[in-house]
Amino acid sequence: MECIVQGCPGEMEERRIVHTFVRDGKPIVVEDLPAWVCPVCGYTVLDLEVLDGLFALDMDDQHLLARIALDPKVMVGKPVIRGTRLTVEYILNLLAHDATAQEILEEYEGLTHEDIRACLLFAKVLGRHGVHAIGS
């Protein structure tokens, strides 16, 4: 697809991008968002279906998802519960193998019910939108 910027000779490419938007005065960073980007001028087009889903998140969801962090220096960049080295994948695996939330909380001091809810919500958002992280 040709870039729609007048005079730009570029062709739009499918990419995964990081995008920041503000909702209710708070910045929200979305990583690994599918988009079309012109490599020549940088013009970016976001998929409306994905954006509709992101804007549908309520403030409680945003608050929970802010508990999930991605840092290339922590657990090779896998999503983790902020301030820990516990990956979302690990917590979901424990739950999938019949560990209860209470058992997980007893095993990992400092973890909260909200952290476990954040892992579940993160998986839901990832499954629905292909988004790897949302938070501020």
In the numeric block, the tokens 């919500």 are attached to 121
CB 26 within 8 A of CB 38: no
Residue 136 has pLDDT above 60, yes or no: no
Query: 90: helix, coil or strand?
Result: helix
Query: Each residue of 4-29: pLDDT tens digit?
Result: 899 999 999 998 887 777 666 666 67
**Global confidence as pTM:** 0.56
Written as one letter, the residue type at 70 is: L
H or E segment to which residue 49 belongs: helix 48-55
Cα–Cα distance, 73 to 75 (Å, whole number): 7
Asked if CATH classification 1.10.10.10 holds for the domain at 17-32+58-135, the reply, yes or no, is yes
Please state the domain extents for the chain.
17-32+58-135
